[in-house]
Chain A
Amino acid sequence: MPKFPGIKGIFLDEDPLIEQGSKRLRGIGIPDCGLKKSDLKKDESAYIDAKYIRKSPPELPEVSEPTVVRHFTRLSSWNMCVDTVFYPLGSCTMKYNPKINEKIASLENIKNLHPLTPAGLIQPVLKIVYDFNEILCGLTGLAEFGFAPQAGAAGEFAGLKIIKKYFDLKGENRKTILVPDSSHGTNPASSVLAGFTPVEIKTGKAGTLDAEELKKFVSKDAAGIMITNPNTFGVFEKDIKKIAEIMHNNGSFVYMDGANFNAFLGSVKVSDMGIDLIQLNLHKTFSTPHGGGGPGNGAIGVVESLREFLPVPYVKVGGKSTGVEKDSGEKADGGNKSNNRKDNSYSRQVYELSEDKKNSIGRMTPFLCNFAVVLRAYAYLLSLGRENIGSVSEIAVLNANYVKKKLGKILSGSDPFEEGLCMHECVFSDKAIEENGVSTIELAKLLIDYGFHPPTVYFPKNIHGAIMIEPTETESVRTLDNFIKAVKEIKFKTKKSKAVKSPQKTKVGRVNEVLANKQPVFKY
């Protein structure tokens, strides 16, 4: 059995940069643009009206490059991250972020590409987005994806706007979206933003929605249902087909929150469940880094009848004869024949940015999409290929069930769904740890001292003191065993006096959030 990673070490403290400055220091080499000395010296008022000119420059720190590098390197050492610790944050899919994807996203010309460069010069880049769409359609069974949404919540908003616009055009005034009470907070918030009233439906013991219960809520007011599947308990919605049928018979749509799509990747097509719309969080299921809270992408996928509503612009294959054979299914082997602009296949403009969608909900972002995120996700799928993609959900589900089963024995009576299997994550209540005098928040903070990032806690709300664990497929059994052992030690060996003081090995201890909110300090 491996040792727990959390031992002790040095924490280097660091002052705010603004306090480290010295007059006229700087850390940037400003390009020499060849300006004449006389021009460089000229006052700004020689160019613009003096009344606009800023007389007091912003007080930025005055520091050199080494000072900046040491400062931010030290700061970084105060973070736990996926590369340093097991990070089983439920509903967040903290999987490994492949390094080759970062290298690809750092390619010089791609990262420096202006989004309004004439389409004829950027065919290979437009093709990436086009081909990625084809792959996602294959994996979900849906008809088309729009990439404008910058994150999961934006994807939800786009999907709901599509539903709204559909009914507006039909002249039907449907005001509500049905949302299970176990849903992510973004679901009701997005519903409101899209102009709907969210109606909460009580869920059963495991957060699952009962088809009979749903029927009570279904009326001509319901534009659709937003359902997270697997739900926020990590449990598959067994009634999903029935639910879809009930909604469809009512003329309503089924929107699936795809935040938990990792449970299905390469194993289940959402179209087989009767889903009409889904957002895919590329920063979860498709391995792009979370970045400490973004950026992401929440690609919105729809069935055939809703394609015309997707956001614009999008990548379209234009012209009558494209001269390019679809090479989907080909190995990404350098692609020389299809990606050389000088070659025939790109001699004519084939891919274009188009706004031509009859009933589009409109624009969501200034340009096409969070391209660098899409690029990484595309690279991820090309790496895995059709041979391995199904293993993602398989191992994710196996790992979660292993934790569920092993921890279920330690935290006896805490698994609200003891009998069945979970999917990609499992949830426990605080029942068992409370018996030993440890609360959920204390468990979370104690785990930090063992060298693990805590699971998601106190969500979903309908589980008392919820502890929600999502291991993902990129963790080994060895790591899971070590984590389980830590929970066991905490449950049986921790003294209350230690629990309330934890974490103790971190840069700072328990943060005073009351003070932070009472006398808010927003800046230096």
Chain B
Amino acid sequence: MNNFRYFPNSKKDIAKLYRVLGVKDKKELFGKILGGIPLMDAALLTTVPKESDEEALYRFFLNIDSNIPAKNKTAVFAGGGIYNHFVPSAIDSLISRSEFYTPYTPYQPEVSQGTLFALFEFQSFIAEILGMDVVNASMYDGAESLAEAVLMAMRLSPANRDLPVSRKDDIIIISEGVNPSYTSVIKTFAGGTGVKIGKVKLNTQTGQTDIMDLKQKLANGGGRAPAVVVQQPNYFGIIEDLEELERLIHSNSNSGYNPSFIVSSTEPYSFGVINPPGFYNADIFAGEGNSFGNYMNFGGPLLGLFAAKKEYVRQMPGRIVGKTKDGKDRDAYAFILSTREQHIRRGAATSNICTNSSLNAVRAAIYLSLCSKSGFKEIASLNLKLAHILRDRLLSSGLFEPLYEGDFFNEFSLKLKINGNKHNNMAASEFIEKMAERDIIAGIAVSESAVLISATENNRLSDIEKYAENAKEVLNA
């Protein structure tokens, strides 16, 4: 039998290795190592398929690819945390360079300047977009990033940490405008500390976080709120009034608790049109960056963005690239402030994160470079306009009604009416499935009868027309 193609040692080489080690064969080798643990014969494992040649393997996956919704004929209007943006070819071409995708984390800066410099540019671009001081070199995804932001806020409040703090009376205040999956991930991460989660309602008219309710929640917590979390634009697509929220949250300091104003986002493309969190004195930003040059990939890998004010940098999770010099005074880049991290601090680290979304971050850096200053703004503006045209078109059919009236960027929610009768609702999930049969991914269900719909520069006016016409047929059926 010939050697498998991924193994560069020939049978002869392998025989040499055994000879040098003075061991006869695999059985003896593993026998000596494992003691009493049995050696398994993988060739007998029926759960593992037989080997596949490259061509057969490709055909197998090609067949899978041709049996799912086809990019070239499916109009995607689903968002809800991940968006269907255009990805220029230059990104795929650059990122397929082995020098980017096959190295490890740049622990040896002298031979990793390419990745480090690209990540430094990533940090620079994201800091610009968010209006924040310090951005790290990425987290796994928006939800995990947000959960880490909450944990960071808990390290910052209460300020006086001479004694271990019981978190039983603490409350993390989260707007109902935060993506519910993100809130679930926060619970997974922070749940162990005993901290409670308090939810703030949305204003039923505007869909913005309800200021009166937030006021009450802050008061109810007895002042023990390490963090208030909102999302911009929120889960239902509505633009929050960060100015008003900030004023309330930052005036609420109480017995060592200065609630961190945490802003999340699943669509930071919005900050090409609307003011970013940094302009409103946000303490921490934690959200999703997949919209910048990354594919949807059925939900992952994603790109967690994490940013904070400079004064909190030592409490930040994750890796940060800094600019420095080498011995000859040439510009050089390296990871900095590593004493926050697990490989140095072990149990006392700010986070356990090690591997993150480095390659996705490099993709984002390339993407934002390609967009450039004017293109970024123009695409953001295009998103805003397409979404408004789509919403107007759908509302004019009389088959939908708005869930909320607040301003939005590229995503909005509508309730469905059958035959224009608002008391005769079609289940949102049924609508979506019926539309999917017509090659339209119409959105995602956010309630029994409401659909969350997004539009991006990957949707044409003709797609919008197609959506409206098919919706009419589906809802009038």
Contact = CB atoms under 8 A, between A and B. Distances in A.
B9 A477 contact: yes
A156 B48 contact: no
Given A60-B376, A366-B179, A477-B13, A384 B103 contact: no
Nearest to B279: A54
A334 interface: yes
B298 A368 contact: yes
Given A291-B359, A295-B359, A402-B20, A366 B376 contact: no
Contacts of B331: 508
Interface string A139-165: 100000000001111101100010010
Interface in B45-75: 45-52, 54, 56-72
Given A69-B93, A368-B299, A387-B51, A79 B114 contact: yes
Contacts of B34: 236, 268
A508 B330 contact: yes
B334 A511 contact: yes
Contact of B298 (A58, A113, A187, A191): A113
Interface stretch (A192-200, A212-220, A245-253, A316-324): A192-200
B312 interface: no
B191 A362 contact: yes
B137 interface: yes
Contacts of B35: 236, 238
Interface stretch (A28-36, A426-434, A491-499): A28-36
Contacts of B104: 87, 89, 92, 94, 290, 292-293
Given A24-B374, A113-B297, A240-B37, A363 B188 contact: yes
B298 A115 contact: yes
Contacts of B98: 81-84
Given A195-B193, A362-B185, A398-B17, A386 B94 contact: no
Q: Which of A69, A121, A152, A366 has the most CB of B within 10 A?
A: A366
Interface stretch (B217-225, B267-275, B416-424, B467-475): B267-275
What's the dominant secondary structure at chain A's contact region? loop
B39 interface: yes
Contact of B369 (A71, A94, A383, A508): A71
Given A44-B273, A289-B102, A273 B37 contact: yes
A152 B354 contact: yes
Contacts of A399: 9, 17
Given A151-B353, A267-B42, A114 B84 contact: yes
User: Of B56, B328, B408, which is in contact with the most chain A CB atoms at under 10 Å from its CB?
Assistant: B56
B347 A198 contact: yes
B355 A47 contact: no
Nearest to A97: B102
A34 B345 contact: no
A306 interface: no
Nearest to A110: B65
Nearest to A96: B6
B108 A33 contact: no
A448 B332 CA distance: 17
A258 interface: no
Contact of A402 (B6, B21, B184, B274): B21
A244 to B, nearest CB: 11
B274 A189 contact: no
A289 B101 contact: yes
B353 to A, nearest CB: 6
Nearest to A158: B188
B315 interface: no
Contacts of A448: 108, 110-111
Contacts of A359: none
A272 interface: yes
A2 interface: no
A76 B97 contact: yes
A513 B324 contact: yes
Contacts of B212: none
Interface string B185-217: 101110111000000000000000000000000
A81 B99 contact: yes
A435 interface: no
Chain B interface size range: 35 or more
A57 B379 CA distance: 12
B313 interface: yes
B48 A386 contact: yes
B291 interface: no
A185 B161 CA distance: 24
Contacts of A501: 327
Given A30-B379, A475-B8, A510-B326, A73 B135 contact: no
A185 B301 contact: no
B135 A522 contact: yes
Contacts of B433: 118, 120
A444 B108 contact: yes
Contacts of B42: 139, 266-267, 386, 389-390
B338 to A, nearest CB: 8
A462 interface: no
Nearest to A507: B113
A480 B306 CA distance: 41
Interface in B103-123: 103-115, 117-118, 120-121, 123
Given A28-B372, A293-B356, A509-B328, A523 B123 contact: yes
B110 A366 contact: no
Interface stretch (B169-177, B254-262, B453-461): B453-461
A454 B14 CA distance: 25
B394 to A, nearest CB: 16
A328 B46 contact: yes
A117 B191 contact: no
Nearest to A404: B21
Contacts of B44: 386
Nearest to A340: B67
Given A113-B69, A295-B301, A517-B336, 7 more contacts: A34-B462, A268-B37, A382-B49, A383-B52, A476-B8, A506-B111, A520-B322
11 contacts: A58-B128, A79-B115, A81-B102, A114-B84, A185-B349, A189-B351, A291-B101, A292-B100, A293-B105, A391-B4, A398-B21
Closest A-B pairs by Cβ, 9 of them: A367-B299, A385-B51, A138-B47, A115-B299, A195-B192, A291-B359, A295-B301, A293-B358, A83-B98
